[in-house]
Amino acid sequence: MAAALHINDSTINGPVVGVNNGNIAFTMYSGPVGTVIQHAAPALIQRLPGNPSPPLPPRGFRDREVQRAAIQAELRMDGRVWLHGCGGCGASALLAVVAQSATLKDGVAWVAGAHAGHFHDDVLMYLFQRFYLAQAGAEHAIVDPATACTYLQQLQAVFVLDDLPLARSDLDDVVNDLNHGVVLVAADAPAHEACAPCELGGLPPADAVAMWREQAGLASGRPPLQVELRLCAALGHLPLPLRLVGRVMRAGVLTLEGCMALLDTMTGKPLQGRLPADLPRSLRLTSLPEMSRQDDALVRAVWLCLAPLDASDHQILAFLARAAAPDLDLATLAQLSQIPSAMITPALTRLRSVGLVVSQAERWSIPASRSLRHAIDQLLPAGDEQRRAAAFFARAALAHVGNMPWLQQEQGNVLAAIRTQLANGELRQVGQVIQAVQPAVASQGQWGSWKQLLDWARTVASTTNDRSLEAWALHEEGTRLGLVGERTAAVDQLRRAEKLRRRLGDRTGAAASRHNRLVLQPGAGWWKPTRRKGLIAAVVLLAGTLVSLFLALGGSAANSSTATATATATSTSIPGPTTTPVVMPPPPLPSPSGTATPTATFRPTATPSATPPLRKTATTIPTRTKTVTSTSTITPTETVTATTTITPPAPQRLAFTVDQRDPTRSSVILTWLPVQDPNGIQQYILELAPRVSSSISNNSAPIQGQAPAPSFEFLRCCPPGSSWLWHVRAVDKAGTAGPWSSVATIVMPPLPTATSTPTSSPPVLR
């Protein structure tokens, strides 16, 4: 099913992602104005079938009996453990071994490296999606961080956080949020105060020699040779260095004698061109630290692996270590490294055989260890790999605007490109690249990365004086804040975006910002939490951005690609969050110019002044009503003609399900055109009265309401099946009130006799 959203003169198309119990659960719109949000009925949060499981431990794991016993004891007490040690100490392998023995009923959620993002909120969403789905058939389950945290705290699971690229404060916050499960952390930093520390060092010498022999394919069982003891000592008895050097020897790239000859050159001083005879002359490695420091064992191991490799191998490793974030496909790697395709495949096979690269789903990367990437980067000669990769992915992102699969696949590389170009001061296209990748980030609920993009956009806008980009960033930040529950701040940002876009002549952008602001406006009747404040059980995220280049090239709305995601809400199958939102009707969207019908004329009195009074220009006020009741019937809305007659024609209505628990709830949104006044309008005053006669003045106690300018709509709850009269007047900033408009009639629809589900495509929403 497809739906369309009209904002000003632009049409934004999007598919209905899913239907849950007859209610449209989520609709995503893509357009050049930024993220546009629209109300949706609650969607069911469901547990995914089966439990997540950890990766298999590596072959040849040895020792660590003491640490394993301590960690398993913490597992039995639902405790927390923080593993730390020097690079290559085998923390990830130990976590995999321990996690295999976990018996908690909800399984093991494993988060490693940069795949889950670089921020606290991104990691929470990644963990949430390992266990939950909003509804069957949906690609993503999008919730706000507070809701994700609430659902995660209901699980009896093991959460493994392995070498995450988070700031220390963000990592601590993740550990604090997962306070109802077992948490295992592997990180370089010292332990969190709530975690039991577990420091890892080298293996016992006998185990180290046995592990090296197994990786090198040598016979075991005989006593270790002196040369083997020397080699293992030089490698710090650490698992990863032993594994790397063993695999190099197993591949026949380096012999034990050649390895020891290379180790003998390590004196801690610059090599000054003194290279072993079998070292390729194209390679110029940097100086190495002293042999006695265990912290440098991984660097020594990588040095031994790099020494016998050729220049093309080094070039591939340089791009994977410095440019891949976190991986690259074969075509991109070949294009960046400029290595012929006939040579790159054998080179990658050789690098994989020695354990320096891995492949998964036809994408290549350095094994998930930041310390290994750092060691390779440290040893290879300096190059411009980052700058070249940044230029490549910036161009590619602009060529794939709206292509959600590509943007989501290459999101890490595009974000790295933005970061690199910002650091290098190359700002010419950064703003457009930010707007291109933003839908992929937002549609996956990566709240932290979304905020990072907006911070970058503001930096670029300030540096280049790009007011259009500044307005876009304000619009996006306001929308993001509203979707995570910070509605007051959201409304302020969206109001600023609307004003700036109006000054820039961007009528469509201003209308979109106004639409989002009215949806999120406190008191507008959208979210009404019925329990603990600050927790949102459902987040409606309709995200999408197309750069201004899209319109300049004349792209049609029918061809625009659309980001898809899924809203979440209260669960009927498992315990849900402690807050349940009541979905209320949305404010109306601005109508395209030329469709409004004049309904009444304001003739305000003159403003008191020492100079001759200015007569205010008479202004026609078209009025519209939207009525929302507990029925799933959808009918078009139409402009209501309020005439000077006593009984104007009754309006047609747009009705859909609002609150299944309260079928008597019925609301109407009254809308009119704003009044222009030299002094400015302060507010509008409305009167409503039951239609017991032909005039509001005949009612003894009409209901009064007011709407502060510049708002020109009013939400009112009325009983179903009732009939009301209403009119409106303006008050300027000097306190002078104009006359009342003509009276219009509201006819509320009766309660439905049956609930039906739309079977065809939803109508155009206006």
CB 310 within 8 Å of CB 302: no
What b/e readout covers 336-357, taking b as 16+ CB neighbours within 10 angstroms? bbebeeeebeebbebbeebbbb
Encode 382-400 in three state secondary structure: CCCHHHHHHHHHHHHHHHC
What is the DSSP annotation of 120-150? HHHHHHHHHHHHEESSTT-S--B--HHHHHH
* Residue from 10, 6, 47, 42 nearest 24 by CA: 42
HSE-up (13 A, CA, CB side) for residue 158: 27
Is 600 a residue whose pLDDT tops 80? no
Q: Where are the domains of the chain?
A: 65-133+141-200, 601-747
Peptide bond into 710 cis (omega under 30): yes
Q: Look at residue 284 in the predicted model and tell me its pLDDT.
A: 41
Q: Across all residues in the chain, what is the average pLDDT? A: 71
Question: How far apart are alpha carbons 566 and 542 in whole angstroms?
Answer: 9
Is 175 a residue whose pLDDT tops 50? yes
Q: Look at residue 422 in the predicted model and tell me its pLDDT.
A: 94
Structure tokens at 190: 């010292």
Question: How far apart are alpha carbons 208 and 202 in whole angstroms?
Answer: 8
> At the topology level of CATH, where does 601-747 sit?
Immunoglobulin-like (2.60.40)
Q: Look at residue 583 in the predicted model and tell me its pLDDT.
A: 28
Band (629; pLDDT cuts 50, 70, 90): very low
Q: Look at residue 227 in the predicted model and tell me its pLDDT.
A: 86
Q: Look at residue 535 in the predicted model and tell me its pLDDT.
A: 32
Q: What Å distances lie between residue 530 and 251, 581, 582, CA to CA?
A: 65, 7, 8
Q: Look at residue 404 in the predicted model and tell me its pLDDT.
A: 84
Is 762 a residue whose pLDDT tops 50? no
Band (671; pLDDT cuts 50, 70, 90): confident
Question: How far apart are alpha carbons 285 and 271 in whole angstroms?
Answer: 8
Is 263 a residue whose pLDDT tops 60? yes
What b/e readout covers 193-209, taking b as 16+ CB neighbours within 10 angstroms? eebbebebebbeeebbb
Instruction: Work out the average pLDDT over 401-430.
Output: 92
Band (294; pLDDT cuts 50, 70, 90): low
- pLDDT tens-digit series, residues 676-735: 777 788 788 888 888 766 677 666 567 777 777 766 566 666 666 778 788 888 888 777
Give the lowest-confidence range in 70-79, 262-271, 432-441, 473-482: 262-271
Give the lowest-confidence range in 48-52, 220-224, 611-615, 664-668: 611-615
What b/e readout covers 668-681, taking b as 16+ CB neighbours within 10 angstroms? bbbbbbebebeeeb
Is 582 a residue whose pLDDT tops 80? no
Is 739 a residue whose pLDDT tops 50? yes
Q: Tell me which of 576 and 409 has the higher pLDDT.
A: 409
Question: How far apart are alpha carbons 24 and 39 in whole angstroms?
Answer: 9
Tokens 């904002």, residue located:
7
Q: Look at residue 307 in the predicted model and tell me its pLDDT.
A: 81
Helix (H, G, I), strand (E, B) or coil at 308: coil
Under 8 Å CB-to-CB from 102, ≥6 apart: which residues?
54, 75, 108, 158, 182
Q: Look at residue 484 in the predicted model and tell me its pLDDT.
A: 82
Q: Look at residue 492 in the predicted model and tell me its pLDDT.
A: 95
**H-only helix segments in 289-410:** 297-306, 311-322, 330-337, 341-353, 370-379, 385-399, 404-409
Is 540 a residue whose pLDDT tops 70? no
Question: How far apart are alpha carbons 301 and 423 in whole angstroms?
Answer: 32
Instruction: Work out the average pLDDT over 148-171.
Output: 89
Under 8 Å CB-to-CB from 252, ≥6 apart: which residues?
none
Is 754 a residue whose pLDDT tops 50? no
Give the lowest-confidence range in 21-30, 320-329, 592-601: 592-601
The enclosing H or E element of 463 equals helix 447-464
Instruction: Work out the average pLDDT over 207-218.
Output: 89
Q: Tell me which of 673 and 687 has the higher pLDDT.
A: 687
Q: Look at residue 289 in the predicted model and tell me its pLDDT.
A: 45
Is 391 a residue whose pLDDT tops 80? yes
Give the lowest-confidence range in 215-219, 631-635, 690-694: 631-635
Instruction: Work out the average pLDDT over 271-291.
Output: 42
Band (123; pLDDT cuts 50, 70, 90): very high
CB 27 within 8 Å of CB 14: yes
* Whole-number percent of the chain with pLDDT over 70: 65
* Residue from 467, 462, 459, 469 nearest 436 by CA: 469
Instruction: Work out the average pLDDT over 502-521.
Output: 88
Question: How far apart are alpha carbons 337 and 320 in whole angstroms?
Answer: 10
Question: How far apart are alpha carbons 60 and 97 in whole angstroms?
Answer: 11
What is the DSSP annotation of 171-224? HHHHHHH-TTSEEEEE-SSPPPTTSEEEEE-PPPHHHHHHHHHHHHT---SSPP
Considering the entire predicted model, what is its pTM?
0.66
Is 463 a residue whose pLDDT tops 90? yes
Under 8 Å CB-to-CB from 642, ≥6 apart: which residues?
599, 600, 621, 622, 623, 648, 741, 742, 743, 744, 745
Instruction: Work out the average pLDDT over 145-151.
Output: 85
What phi and psi values does residue 616 have, to the nearest 5 degrees? Answer: -75, 140
CB 648 within 8 Å of CB 743: yes
Question: How far apart are alpha carbons 728 and 107 in whole angstroms?
Answer: 60
Is 50 a residue whose pLDDT tops 70? yes
* Residue from 377, 373, 343 nearest 358 by CA: 373
CB 108 within 8 Å of CB 53: yes
Give the lowest-confidence range in 76-80, 266-270, 293-297, 479-483: 266-270
Band (76; pLDDT cuts 50, 70, 90): confident
**In the β-sheet with 623-628, what is the strand arrangement from edge to edge?**
623-628, 667-672, 713-717
* Whole-number percent of the chain with pLDDT over 90: 21
Question: How far apart are alpha carbons 692 and 724 in whole angstroms?
Answer: 8
Question: How far apart are alpha carbons 69 and 67 in whole angstroms?
Answer: 5
CB 334 within 8 Å of CB 344: yes
State which CATH number among 3.40.50.300, 3.40.50.720, 1.10.443.10, 2.130.10.10 fits the domain covering 65-133+141-200: 3.40.50.300
Q: Tell me which of 652 and 301 has the higher pLDDT.
A: 301
Is 449 a residue whose pLDDT tops 90? yes
Question: How far apart are alpha carbons 725 and 743 in whole angstroms?
Answer: 6
Q: Look at residue 68 in the predicted model and tell me its pLDDT.
A: 84
Question: How far apart are alpha carbons 390 and 644 in whole angstroms?
Answer: 64
Helix (H, G, I), strand (E, B) or coil at 581: coil
Neighbours of 280 (CB within 10 A): 15
